[in-house]
Chains A and B, each alone.
Chain A
Amino acid sequence: MENKDIIRLQKKISKLYKNIKVSSKEDCVVLKGELDNWSDIVNIGLMAASTKKFYGVINEIKLKGYKEAPMRISDIKDNEYDGIECDVLIVGGGIIGSAILHEFSKYNVNAILIEKENDLALQASSRNDGCIHVGIDLSNKSKKWYYLNRSLEIYEKLANDLKINYRKDGQTIVFTKNFQRLLLPFLKIKAKENNIKEVHVLNKKELEKLEPNTTPYAKFAVKFGNGAVICPYNMTIALAENAVLNGGKVFLETSLLDINMEGDVIKSVVTNRGTIYPKVLINAAGVFSDKIAKMANDQFFTIHPRKGTNAILDKKAKRYLSNSSIAVLGSSANHKTSHSKGGGVVPTIDYNPLVGPTAHETPFREDFTTDIQAINEVMSKHVSSMPKLSKNDIITYFSGIRAATYEEDFIVQKGKWTKNIVHAAGIQSPGITAAPAIAEDIVKFTQEVLNTKFTKNPKFSYKRGIKNPLRELDNETRNKYILENPDYGQIICRCEEISKGEVIDALNRPIPVNTISGIKRRVRAGMGRCQGSFCEPQVLKIISENKGISLENVKKKGNGKVLVGDIKDGDSNG
């Protein structure tokens, strides 16, 4: 006999959709059936979550005719890591997993991070706007807010310690209608509730002084001075590299394929590189975190992927765009539930303006393709705050997939049924901002699971062993480095002013990388206006020379090689 909440939900859903079965699994709701429209499936999940009567939503409604694409995993299949034991196994090398590994490296804990791709931060962690949010749009009862708020206290120092640039440009919301002033008192109350400091109401004149390119229709604005930008993928890499220097381990191209359970305890984890025996499994697997949970008999939530597309503009365009992260109220996310704050025009850490993101539900967990409608959408949305926004300034665009739960909140907790799993799952925006505090709690929960107290790693330090980009240095310091190593004086990426020496340094960091896009993310060669036309061959040559790989075997990304063979190898045709 189902409880009345289940019955009520079943009635509500049955009115709108055919053949959907609502049942319970302890205090969670389970949805089963088959529909031919993905947005209906998402809608039902959201309906179930919005009752707030269930611990979690397990949405197993199938999409008719949809065969899920196989998860991207490496070709490697061996026993390199077979039999390895560890205290903690972190699944997922995004910013969350890397922050967790980093936090563990402060203690005497044997922690391993496995990442299925051939580099860190290849999914959501490199496919976002790099904003450190202040959380004005969040409910202060949510985990999103809780972890964001705690992280903001330590983020700037953490970034500085890790030699990651952190720039507080602020976040500005522009209002174009006078009647919207009525919202101000509510906004101020919300800001106070959410512990947001540096809240400034700007009149038209003040706004024009700070943001001279803003729309002439602006009436007033609210600026949150603590809004900042960082490079999210370099932050991820920095966390992981520093963790490795402090004893942590990172295994790239290692996918979790199966979990061996013994009752309610995870005994071992089967990967494409052997079976690993952790005491505790940390689930930081992004869009696949619900599948990991299911394999560990601990699924009490479901991910519904939500795609976002961003456009990146030429640095020159910044002159006639914004100085802070800016958007007109209401120009944000276009979908009904409005769970994405909707971004705006963001001056990224490297000064390229970023415009976006969109928010569209999709059944495809790893569909990073872009389409022209999304580009047009972000540009037309945000021209409302920045009239000089122009498609002509776009130098590239990309998409990411958010790991959204139906509750639209983070899952940071010990396993519900399984004893030795800890989840850092369903992390969507503000995941980049919330990462450090999430990591702290994951370590705390892990101690509870193991019923122990970790001792501090006496050797822990924030060393990075890397140089700041040489183009940022003064002439004298730069000259000194070049005298020590002439490779620092040979510029191979002229759009971003990167030297051969810096590329070689990036190839020899604590976590190995040997792809052109891995280098691109670390030093920016290929991110400029020519998008690698000039520097890709140079980087390819350097990788080949430095790693002892033949030119034909150098990859751009994943398994994608740049060259196919020698000249005159094929059949000449005519």
Chain B
Amino acid sequence: MVIVMDKYDVIVIGGGPAGLAASKSACKNNSNVLLIEREAKLGGILKQCIHDGFGVTRFKQKLSGPEYANLEIEQLKKEKITISLLTFVTKIKKLESGFILTLVNREGVKEVFGKNLILATGCRERTSKQVFIQGTNPAGVISAGTAQYYINILGKMPTKKCVILGSGDIGLIMARRITLEGGKVIGVYEAKSTPGGLTRNIVQCLNDFSIPLYLSKTVTRVFGEDRLEAVEVCKVDERMQLIADTKEIIKCDALILSVGLIPENELAESIEVEISKRTKGPKVDQTLMTSVDNVYSCGNALHVNDLADYVSESGEIAGKNAALNKVNNRNLVKVTVDDKIAYVVPSHIDTNKPLKDIVFYFRSKNVLENKVLHICVNDKQIYTKRFNNIRPPEMERVVVNLGECEKIEKIVFKLLEVIK
């Protein structure tokens, strides 16, 4: 029995900035595209990121998240893309010829077929339990993104007086938001010895409002049965071990957690996409194709980004390549890194695919000064770039031409001292 279902060249899962860019790019490259989004509106997390700083490179403007999303959505609506909102992908089945997706929405359950998939599923926040905060389980312990939703979307305050754990961007942004909307931030506590977010955010969100930043301190315990009443903070050493006798109790009604993002790859794993332990996202080649043919990954699902502009760029790369709908023999060479680099994306190069102008993103493991990035192919240096300052919270981007390289068997990224 033949079951009639809608067929698409490219199905994009996720309508945030990555998926929006991927859909447009695939469509522009002559693909029949279906964009699936589980919320009622497109835009993803940008809908609640009301602060500015978005689009500096992409649109040459300093926009808020919703405005950035709006521009992308307006552009998208000009293309002939099928959009399915409030739709959830419950299952993906891999066939020889493509993928069958089971979709659930208010109209019912249906199956659709796509030859290529782009996973733009974003990320989730690390929870208090994942950083082993002990004690009770009261109301008032929430992640920064959830606090952001309550304030910026529902117009309600989740706190009058809070402690923020984690100096990543979301924590810093929320320190400012809570302060501006009438709440008090007692302090931002960071377990590492260096702050986690963009430097500009330390200035604009903490220094501007005299909100103290406490490094090498973490929250270990919460108190309060039904609603938070206090937290216990403790000093930690360089290896994140608690230092004895440094406990301090701080009274507050909320603990806002900004302790890291985790790429969402449940759907990816269900079809056996290999996930990198370093990035927590899929291993991909320069076209952003994963270990499964014709499945692409982009945006925060691929690796946690700092800038929406780069997220859109990765979506475009994925979309353009998914539209090619080519199946080829892949010859994957792993991109290795030295011990100063946390990770590089893409993690692999397919030597049978175009090697010109490959965009690499990477992060250092620690705060470094005066370093030179060396990229060596087959032990021959083919690219260098100098970095005066390089920090883990600020991802770097380089564009490298590997087109001149013959028979690539080894690619290494190294961060070396500047030779004076």
Give residues in A with beta carbon < 8 Å to B.
72, 316, 368-372, 375, 391, 394-398, 471, 475-476, 478-479, 482-483, 486-487, 489-491, 494, 497, 499, 529-534, 536-537, 541, 551-552, 555-574
Contacts and interface: CB of A to CB of B under 8 A. Distances in A.
Given A557-B226, A560-B140, 18 more contacts: A370-B135, A372-B134, A372-B220, A375-B132, A394-B130, A395-B130, A471-B90, A491-B38, A530-B125, A533-B143, A533-B145, A537-B149, A551-B156, A556-B226, A558-B225, A562-B150, A563-B157, A564-B160
A1 B291 CA distance: 84
Contacts of B333: none
A369 B124 contact: no
Contact of B106 (A370, A489, A532): A489
A531 B129 contact: yes
B378 interface: no
Nearest to A550: B156
Interface in B198-232: 208-210, 220-221, 224-227
Contacts of B226: 555-560
Contacts of A559: 226-227
A570 B160 contact: yes
B384 interface: no
B183 interface: yes
21 contacts: A368-B136, A368-B137, A369-B135, A395-B127, A475-B102, A478-B109, A479-B110, A483-B108, A489-B105, A491-B88, A491-B104, A533-B142, A551-B154, A556-B138, A557-B137, A557-B226, A559-B226, A563-B154, A566-B156, A568-B181, A569-B157
A563 B160 CA distance: 9
Contacts of A368: 136-137
User: A72, A489, A564, A570: which has the most chain B beta carbons within 10 Å?
Assistant: A564
A288 to B, nearest CB: 16
Contact of A566 (B142, B153, B155): B155
B150 A574 contact: no
Contacts of B88: 491, 494, 497
A336 B150 CA distance: 49
A533 B124 contact: yes
B109 A475 contact: yes
Contacts of B245: none
A392 B181 CA distance: 36
A72 B179 contact: no
Nearest to A487: B106
A489 B104 contact: yes
B253 A536 contact: no
A530 to B, nearest CB: 5
B403 interface: no
B106 A490 contact: yes
Nearest to A396: B129
A568 B179 contact: no
Given A537-B149, A558-B225, A482 B107 contact: yes
B219 to A, nearest CB: 12
What is the interface of chain A mostly: helix, strand, loop, or mixed?
Answer: mixed
Contact of A486 (B107, B160, B183): B107
Given A531-B129, A570-B183, A573-B179, A316 B269 contact: yes
Contact of A564 (B137, B155, B157): B157
A355 to B, nearest CB: 13
B151 interface: yes
A534 B124 contact: yes
B159 interface: yes
B129 A563 contact: no
Contacts of A369: 134-136
Given A396-B129, A562-B158, A570-B160, A533 B146 contact: yes
Nearest to A397: B129
B257 to A, nearest CB: 9
A478 B88 CA distance: 14
B180 interface: yes
Nearest to A556: B139
B340 interface: no
A537 B160 CA distance: 18
Contacts of A571: 182
B184 interface: yes
B252 to A, nearest CB: 12
* Top 6 closest pairs, chain A to chain B, by CB: A570-B182, A560-B226, A560-B139, A556-B139, A558-B226, A486-B106
A556 B371 CA distance: 50
Given A560-B226, A563-B157, A564-B158, A482 B182 contact: no
Interface in B253-275: 253, 269
Contacts of A529: 124
B151 A567 contact: yes
Contacts of B154: 537, 541, 551, 563
B418 interface: no
A372 B181 contact: no
A110 to B, nearest CB: 33
B341 to A, nearest CB: 22
A573 B180 CA distance: 8
A403 B104 CA distance: 45
A316 B153 CA distance: 32
A560 B129 contact: no
A394 B127 CA distance: 10
B86 interface: yes
Nearest to B208: A574
Given A394-B129, A494-B38, A564-B253, A370 B158 contact: no
Interface string B101-134: 0101111111100000000000011011110101
Contact of A482 (B108, B130, B160, B227): B108
B179 A533 contact: no
Contact of B139 (A531, A541, A555): A555
A77 B90 CA distance: 47
A309 to B, nearest CB: 10
A483 B127 CA distance: 36
User: B142, B160, B208: which has the most chain A beta carbons within 10 Å?
Assistant: B142
Contacts of B107: 482, 486, 489
B187 to A, nearest CB: 13
Interface string B296-327: 00000000000000000000000000000000
A370 B134 contact: yes
A72 B108 contact: no
A371 B134 contact: yes
Nearest to B140: A560
A566 B220 CA distance: 30
